[in-house]
Amino acid sequence: MSAWLHALPLGWMAAVVFGITYLMTAALYVAVRALERTEWGRAARAVTPALLSPLGVTFGLLVVFTASQVWGDVDHARVATNEEANALRTAVLLTNGLPDSSATRIRSLIAYHIDQAQKVEWPAMAAGQATLTAIPPAMAQALETAINLQPSKPGQVVAQRELVNALIRSLDARRQRILVSHSEINGVKWFGIILQALVTLAAVALVHGDNRPAAAMGLWLFATGAAVCMLLILSHDEPFVGHVTVKPTPLLEVRPN
């Protein structure tokens, strides 16, 4: 789906989705009514109501399979962000057992990394442009500082080892959130859902061809249900885009001062 649609406020997104759905349904209804005056229209009157059930089930299955991917991506993004925040929080706490100069440097590097994640990486993930080509410079320096420490006490040996592990875990969680930022519902899946919805709407109009009020009511009901499904999927389609999105709040909460 277009980036401008994902960036709309939820209310406007709903207005666009419902408006387009109702316009397409009205156009389909007019087309079916015009078709009734042709040879094809007279043949279409033989369409049985039993056809609606498999068509509706097929549409429902498409929505379920697509929605499962969307919810999974959102959960994955949220878990990755929380895991990164937890790892960085652990790293900050472990610096309390290190010499003051090294502890201060590592905490400042972690704070800078979190600032860059909020200001640079989150907009890049929203645009689908975040990459894994290089380790963040601040995290690379923090990891190098931790590895090069010369512990003088047994407690510092343990703190150094756990600090390195925490920084590595944070980098792995960052990798996971960047990977999931590239996940989206591709055009083929959207085409399949929309086409199946239109086919089902056409079947509703044909089945109730002799009863126009019933046809209009059936079309409105199914169109409303289809629009709700598409709005739910669209609003969560990309985990780091739009107003229903995963934000860097967990990282900001653990940022050292």
Pair 89, 166: CB distance under 8 Å: no
Structure confidence by residue, pLDDT tens digits, 55-75: 999 999 999 999 999 999 999
Q: Give CA–CA dist 255/257, Å, rounded.
A: 6
CA 135 to chain centroid: 24
166, 130 contact by CB (below 8 A) = no
| 72-89 CB burial, b ≥16 within 10 A, e <16 | ebbebbbebbbbbbbbbb
Spatial separation of the C-alpha atoms in residues 157 and 143, rounded to whole Å = 15
Residue by residue, DSSP assigns the chain as --HHHHTS-HHHHHHHHHHHHHHHHHHHHHHHHHHTTSHHHHHHTT--GGGHHHHHHHHHHHHHHHHHHHHHHHHHHHHHHHHHHHHHHHHHHHGGGS-HHHHHHHHHHHHHHHHHIIIIIHHHHHTT----SS--HHHHHHHHHHHT----SHHHHHHHHHHHHHHHHHHHHHHHHHHHTT----HHHHHHHHHHHHHHHHHHHHHTTT-HHHHHHHHHHHHHHHHHHHHHHHHHSSTTSSSSS--SHHHHHT---
Residue whose entry in the numeric block shows the structure tokens 């962000």: 81
Radius of gyration of the chain (CA): 27
The torsion angles phi and psi of 151, rounded to 5 degrees, stand at: -65, 140
**What is residue 41's predicted lDDT score, i.e. its pLDDT?**
63
CA dist., res. 120 & res. 167, Å (int): 20
Domain total in the chain: 1
Average pLDDT of adjacent 10-residue blocks, the chain of 257 residues? 76 94 92 76 69 90 93 94 97 91 94 95 90 90 92 87 96 95 88 94 82 87 95 89 86 93
For residue range 1-55, list pLDDT tens digits in order. Answer: 567 788 788 889 999 999 999 999 999 888 888 877 777 666 666 677 788 889 9
Residue written as token pair 């759905």 = 21
Residue range of the domain that includes 129: 3-253
Two structure tokens written together for 248: 């860097």
- Cα–Cα distance for residue pair 95/140, rounded to 1 Å: 16
